[in-house]
C-alpha cells in the first residue's frame, strides 16, 4: 500500500461508550484525510437505531488552546457520520475531536485524533539539474547548462528523484511522458526557464505554411495523413465535423445551415484535411494550427512530479483521447502550477483510481470559440470538455487558476456513479472561471466531502451544477456567481445527497438578453439541500420548483430572494407548485425562508466586480452564524452573500506559491520605465510619489538560489521573479526580482559580472508579434 504522509489517512479505534441498548451510540472507527487547508472526517458507529444522535466536530492546533467548533457532521448510509473542517493552516498538526450527542447514552461517545495538513508548496528539487534547449541542444549531449539536451523527453529520461529538468525558451513539438517517479520529499521538477517555453502539439509543416487547394466557394483542402480533433485558425478554434457535407453546410451538427462559421473535416481515406475559415477567406491568409499529438504531458502511474511554468498549446489527436494539456493517470503527488494551457480540449485531467493528492494551481487555462457555439452543437460532441476534470482518486486540490472558454469549467466526479472513492475529499477554491458554454462548477456523482469555496464564476450558462449529488456532503461556500444565463445552481436529475450552500452571491446577466435566468429550477423531486446567508437574484422566478414532494427534507432560510421580473406576472417564487408574489407570503407559508429577505441587493461597485454590500444595506450583519464556516465575521453578525463588507475580499496571492514565472501573454502592451529598489525597500519611484530617491536597482541573478542582494537581504520564497532575459536576447541566468506586495511592473537589466553586482535598469516592451524586446540603456 502506498504511504500518504501529506494527506494523512488515520483509521483507528475510537473511544467507545458502553451501549444501554441498540439505540445507544458507540463510535467504532474513524478516518481523517488532510488536504492543504481542510480535513475530511468520517466516523463509523454502531447502535443509534432510532437515528436521534447528532455528531459534532471541533479542532485545535495540536496540544494547544481550546477546541473550536466546526460544521456538524451528517449521517451517511452504513452507520457513518461525515463532514469537513475548513480554513486550516498548511503543514500544521491539528487535533480533531468528534463528540456524539445521543439521549440514549449515559455519556457522550468521543474520539480525538491527530492529523497533519499538507504542505502549501512542493518540496524543492535539490538534485541534479538537466538542461534542455530546443535551439542549440542535442539529445546526444550530456544535458549540462553548456551542452543541453534538445528535447524535454530526453531530460525526463535522465531525471531521477530530486532532479530538475530546466527547459530554456523555445518551441518543443513533443509529448512528454516521464518514466520515473520522484520521492515525496524529493520530486522531479520540470521547470520552464522563463517565458517562451512552449510545448506545441500541432503539425509543424501546416503551421509553417501549407499548400491549400480550393474545393469550391470557401472550402479548401491540404494533404494530411494524420488524425486531429482540434484545429485553430489564428486564435479561433474551428468546429470539427465527421462528414464533409456537414462542414460544407456549416450546420454545427444540428441541421441548421450556417449555425457555426467555419470548421474542418479529416478525410482519412483521401488523406486530406478540409477547412473553412471563420471569415471564409483562404487559409493561406491565416495561421493554421492542426493538433496531431494527444497531450503535452502524460503522467502514467508515477509519483511526485512538478510541472512549472510552461506554455502548452494545440493538443488533440483523436476522439478517444481528447486532447489534454496535462493528463494525470493513476498518478499521485503531481503539482501542475504556473502554466499557460490553451487551445486544447481539456486543460488538466485527473483520472483512474490511483490519482490522488495532486495539486493544480496558478495556471491559466483557455479555449476559444466554444462559448459562442450553439449548446446543442457542443453537447455530446468533442468540445464537451473542461478546463480541469477530477474524475478519480482522493485529496486532489484545484486552486487559484484562471479559466475561460471551455464548455465546462471544473468537473469533479462521475455522472450517475455513487462510488464514494471517485473524487472524494476534493477541494476547489479561489479559482476564476469565465465564458463557459455550460457549467462553471460541475459536481456530479457521490461527491463525498467535496468542497468548493471562494470561486468567482462569471458569464456562464449555469454557474454551479449539482446534477445529481448522490452521497455528499458537498459544501458550496462564499462563491460569487456573476452573470449566469440560465441557473445559478442547476439541481437536475433529482439530487439527493447532502449539499450545503452558504454565503453565495448570485447575479444574473441582463434580463433583456436572458429574461429567463433563474437561481434555482429543480425539475424533479430532490432533497438534503441546506442553504443559509445567500443572495439569490434572478430575472424570472428566483426559485421555480413545480414538483409537489421531496426525496428528503430541505432546509432553506436566511437568504435574500430578489427577482428583476418586470412583466407584472407575480413571478417571484414558485415552491411545491404554489406561486408566492413576495417574501412575506413565502415566509408565512411555513415551507422555506421563515427568516428570509426580499430586498434588491446593493453592492459597493458591482460594475467592477466588488460585490461587498453597500453601506446601509439591510443584508449587512443580518446573517446567521454557522460554526466552522463564517467564524470571525466583522460587525454584529455575518453579512449575507459571498463577502464580508468590512472584511478582506478573498483571493489568491501568487507569491504564496513561490517564484512565479510570468508568460508573454501577461506582459503589458506598452513599455514601462521606472526604478526598482529591491523587495525590502518597497518603493518604486517615480511610480510612487513620496518615495525617497532610490539608489542603484537591486536584483537577483538566480531566483532558485540567490546568495546575496546588493543593499538588501536575500530574497525569500515569497518573492516573484521575471526570468530569462538579458541585453538584446535571451539569457537563462538573468532575472529581475519584483516585490510581490506591489502591483507588478516590468523591468529589464544589463548582464552583470556576478550575482552580487548591481544591474542597470532598462526598458521592456512587447512587439506586435507578442515577443518581448529588450532595449539596454
Q: What is the pLDDT of residues 91-118, one digit of tens each?
A: 999 999 999 999 999 999 999 999 999 9
Q: Going by DSSP bridges, is the β-strand pair 68-69/54-61 parallel, antiparallel, or unpaired?
A: antiparallel
Give mean pLDDT, residues 123-147: 96
Domain membership of residue 554 (yes or no) is no
Please tell me the distance from the alpha carbon of residue 563 to that of residue 677, in angstroms, as a whole number: 52
**Cell numbers found for residue 205:** 509543416
Q: Is residue 450 part of a domain?
A: no
Model confidence at 568, in pLDDT bands (50, 70, 90)? low
Q: Residues 517, 538: contact at Cβ < 8 Å?
A: yes
At 131, list the grid cell. Answer: 538542461
User: What dihedral angle (degrees, nearest 10) is formed by the CA atoms of 164, 170, 175, 179?
Assistant: -20
Give the residue carrying C-alpha cell 532595449: 775
Query: By CB neighbour count within 10 A (0-12 exposed, 13-18 middle, 19+ buried), where does 538 fall?
Result: buried
What was the pLDDT predicted at 691? 28
DSSP codes of every residue in 316-340? ---TTT--EEEEEES-EEEEEES-E
Flag the least confident range among 143-157, 399-413, 609-623, 742-756. Answer: 742-756
Which range (64-73, 284-293, 590-599, 740-749) has the least confidence? 740-749
Position 486 in a domain = no
255 in any annotated domain: yes
Q: What is the pLDDT of residue 239?
A: 98
Which pLDDT belongs to residue 708?
25
Is residue 438 included in any domain, yes or no?
no
Q: Are residues 112 and 208 in the same domain?
A: no
Q: Tell me how far apart the alpha carbons of residues 654 and 362 are, in angstroms, rounded to a whole number.
A: 7
Say if 638 falls within a structural domain: no
CA nearest 129: which of 74, 185, 168, 176? 168
- The answer to whether residue 314 is domain-embedded is no
- What's the rounded mean pLDDT across residues 390-411? 96
Per-residue pLDDT reduced to its tens digit, 632-664: 898 899 999 999 987 655 556 543 333 232 222
Residue 261, pLDDT score = 97
pLDDT of 564 over the 60 cut = yes
Domain boundary among 231, 260, 290: 290
Please give the share of the chain, as a percent, with pLDDT higher than 90. Answer: 76
Task: Return mean pLDDT, the chain.
Answer: 84
Q: Supply the CATH number for residue 42's domain.
A: 2.60.40.10
Quick one: pLDDT band at residue 720, thresholds 50, 70, 90?
very low
Band of residue 250 on the pLDDT scale cut at 50, 70, 90: very high
Radius of gyration over alpha carbons of the chain, in Å?
28
The reported pLDDT for the residue numbered 368 is 96
Domain identity same for 109 and 208: no
Q: pLDDT category, 700, cuts 50, 70, 90? A: very low
Tell which of 116, 139, 167 closes a domain: 116
pLDDT value of residue 560: 98
**What count of Cα atoms within 13 Å lies in the side-chain half-sphere of residue 102?**
31
Grid coordinates given for 313: 498549446
| Mean pLDDT, rounded, for 744-765 | 31
Lowest mean pLDDT among 4-18, 173-187, 295-309, 607-621: 4-18
Judge if the upstream peptide bond of residue 686 is cis by omega within 30 degrees of 0. Answer: yes
Final residue of a domain: which of 290, 324, 350?
A: 290
Ranges 14-23, 117-126, 147-156: which has the least confidence:
14-23
Q: For the chain, what is the domain count?
A: 3
How confident is the model over 255-260, as a mean pLDDT? Answer: 96
Q: What is the residue range of 752's domain?
A: 667-777
Tell me how far apart the alpha carbons of residues 212 and 602 are, in angstroms, rounded to a whole number: 56
Specify whether the backbone of 593 is left (phi greater than 0), alpha (psi in -120 to 50) or beta.
left
Q: CA nearest 522: which of 505, 503, 501?
A: 501
**What phi, psi does 586 have (nearest 5°)?**
-65, -45
Grid cell of 374 as nine digits: 450553439
Residue 594, domain member (yes or no): no
Quote the CA–CA distance of 92 and 552 in Å, as a whole number. 38
pLDDT for 321? 84
Higher-pLDDT residue of 616 and 125 is 616
CA distances from 429 to 300, 396, 434, 643, 710 (A): 26, 12, 15, 15, 38
- Is residue 725's pLDDT more than 50? no
Q: What is the pTM of this model?
A: 0.84
Query: Nearest Cα to 734, choosing from 720, 721, 724?
Result: 724
Three cell numbers written together for 549: 414532494
User: Which range, of 205-219, 259-273, 363-377, 566-580, averages the lowest pLDDT?
Assistant: 566-580
Residue 155, pLDDT > 50, answer yes
Tell the residue number behind the cell numbers 514601462, with chain if given.
672
Would you say residue 616 has pLDDT above 80?
A: yes
Is residue 495 classed as helix, strand or coil in its secondary structure? coil
What is the structure's pLDDT at 649?
Answer: 57
Amino acid at each position: 500500500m502506498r504511504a500518504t504522509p501529506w494527506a494523512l489517512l488515520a483509521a483507528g479505534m475510537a473511544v467507545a461508550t458502553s451501549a444501554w441498548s441498540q439505540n445507544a451510540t458507540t463510535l467504532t472507527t474513524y478516518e481523517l484525510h488532510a488536504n492543504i487547508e481542510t480535513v475530511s472526517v468520517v466516523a463509523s458507529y454502531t447502535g443509534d437505531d432510532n437515528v436521534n444522535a447528532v455528531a459534532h466536530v471541533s479542532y485545535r492546533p495540536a496540544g494547544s488552546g481550546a477546541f473550536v467548533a466546526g460544521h456538524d457532521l451528517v449521517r451517511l448510509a452504513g452507520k457513518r457520520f461525515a463532514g469537513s473542517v475548513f480554513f486550516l493552516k498548511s503543514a500544521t498538526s491539528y487535533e480533531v475531536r468528534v463528540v456524539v450527542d445521543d439521549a440514549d447514552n449515559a455519556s457522550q461517545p468521543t474520539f480525538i485524533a491527530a492529523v497533519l495538513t499538507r504542505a502549501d508548496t512542493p518540496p524543492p528539487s535539490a538534485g541534479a539539474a538537466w538542461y534542455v534547449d530546443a535551439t542549440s541542444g542535442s539529445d546526444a549531449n550530456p544535458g549540462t547548462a553548456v551542452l543541453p539536451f534538445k528535447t524535454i523527453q530526453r531530460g525526463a529520461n535522465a531525471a531521477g528523484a530530486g532532479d530538475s529538468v530546466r527547459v530554456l525558451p523555445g518551441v518543443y513539438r513533443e509529448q512528454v511522458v516521464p518514466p520515473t517517479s520522484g520521492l515525496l520529499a524529493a520530486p522531479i521538477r520540470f521547470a520552464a526557464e522563463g517565458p517562451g517555453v512552449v510545448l506545441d502539439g500541432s503539425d509543424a509543416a501546416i503551421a509553417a505554411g501549407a499548400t491549400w487547394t480550393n474545393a469550391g466557394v470557401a472550402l479548401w483542402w491540404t494533404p494530411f495523413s494524420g488524425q486531429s480533433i482540434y484545429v485553430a485558425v489564428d486564435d479561433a478554434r474551428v468546429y470539427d465535423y465527421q462528414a464533409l457535407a456537414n462542414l460544407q453546410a456549416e450546420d454545427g451538427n444540428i441541421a441548421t445551415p450556417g449555425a457555426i462559421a467555419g470548421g474542418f473535416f479529416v478525410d482519412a481515406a483521401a488523406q486530406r484535411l478540409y477547412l473553412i475559415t471563420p471569415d471564409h477567406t483562404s487559409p493561406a491568409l491565416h495561421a493554421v494550427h492542426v493538433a496531431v499529438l494527444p497531450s503535452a504531458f502524460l503522467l502514467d502511474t508515477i509519483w511526485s512530479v512538478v510541472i512549472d511554468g510552461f506554455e502548452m498549446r494545440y493538443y488533440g489527436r483523436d476522439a478517444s483521447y481528447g486532447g489534454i494539456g496535462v493528463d494525470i493517470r493513476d498518478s499521485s503527488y503531481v503539482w501542475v502550477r504556473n502554466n499557460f494551457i490553451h487551445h486544447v480540449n481539456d486543460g488538466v485531467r485527473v483520472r483512474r483510481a490511483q490519482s490522488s493528492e495532486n495539486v493544480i494551481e496558478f495556471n491559466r487555462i483557455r479555449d476559444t470559440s466554444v462559448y459562442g457555439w450553439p449548446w446543442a452543437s457542443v453537447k455530446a460532441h468533442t468540445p464537451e470538455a473542461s478546463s480541469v476534470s477530477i474524475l478519480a482518486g482522493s485529496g486532489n486540490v484545484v486552486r487559484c487558476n484562471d479559466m475561460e472558454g471551455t464548455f465546462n469549467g471544473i468537473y469533479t466526479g462521475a455522472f450517475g456513479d455513487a462510488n464514494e472513492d471517485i473524487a472524494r475529499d476534493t477541494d476547489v477554491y479561489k479559482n476564476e472561471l469565465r465564458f463557459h458554454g455550460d457549467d462553471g462548477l460541475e459536481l456530479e456523482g457521490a461527491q463525498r466531502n467535496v468542497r468548493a469555496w471562494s470561486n468567482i464564476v462569471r458569464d456562464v450558462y449555469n454557474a454551479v451544477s449539482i446534477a445529481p449529488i448522490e452521497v455528499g456532503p458537498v459544501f458550496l461556500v462564499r462563491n460569487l456567481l456573476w452573470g449566469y444565463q440560465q441557473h445559478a445552481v442547476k439541481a437536475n436529475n433529482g439530487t439527493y445527497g447532502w449539499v450545503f450552500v452558504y454565503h453565495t452571491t448570485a447575479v444574473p446577466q441582463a434580463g433583456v438578453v436572458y429574461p429567463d435566468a433563474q437561481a434555482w429550477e429543480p425539475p424533479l423531486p430532490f432533497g438534503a439541500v441546506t442553504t443559509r446567508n445567500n443572495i439569490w437574484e434572478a430575472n424570472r422566478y428566483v426559485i421555480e420548483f413545480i414538483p409537489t414532494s421531496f426525496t428528503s427534507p430541505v432546509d432553506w432560510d436566511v437568504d435574500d430572494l430578489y427577482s428583476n421580473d418586470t412583466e407584472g406576472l407575480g413571478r417571484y417564487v414558485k415552491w411545491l407548485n404554489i406561486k408566492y408574489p413576495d417574501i412575506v407570503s413565502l415566509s408565512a407559508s411555513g415551507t422555506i425562508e421563515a427568516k428570509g429577505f426580499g430586498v434588491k441587493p446593493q453592492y459597493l461597485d458591482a460594475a467592477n466586480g466588488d460585490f461587498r454590500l453597500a453601506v446601509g444595506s439591510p443584508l449587512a450583519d443580518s446573517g446567521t452564524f454557522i460554526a466552522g464556516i463564517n467564524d470571525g465575521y466583522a460587525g454584529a453578525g455575518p453579512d449575507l452573500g459571498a463577502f464580508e463588507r468590512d472584511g478582506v475580499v478573498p483571493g489568491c496571492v501568487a507569491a504564496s506559491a513561490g517564484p512565479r514565472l510570468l508568460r508573454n501573454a501577461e506582459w503589458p502592451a506598452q513599455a514601462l520605465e521606472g526604478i526598482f529598489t529591491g523587495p525590502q525597500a518597497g518603493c518604486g519611484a517615480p511610480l510612487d510619489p513620496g518615495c525617497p530617491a532610490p539608489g542603484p536597482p537591486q536584483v537577483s541573478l538566480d531566483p532558485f538560489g540567490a546568495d546575496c542582494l546588493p543593499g538588501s537581504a536575500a530574497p525569500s520564497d515569497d518573492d516573484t521573479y521575471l526570468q530569462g532575459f538579458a541585453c538584446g536576447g535571451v539569457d537563462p541566468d538573468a532575472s529581475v526580482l519584483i516585490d510581490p506586495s506591489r502591483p507588478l511592473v516590468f523591468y529589464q537589466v544589463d548582464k552583470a559580472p556576478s550575482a552580487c553586482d548591481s544591474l542597470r535598469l532598462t526598458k521592456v516592451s512587447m512587439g506586435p508579434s507578442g515577443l518581448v524586446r529588450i532595449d539596454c540603456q
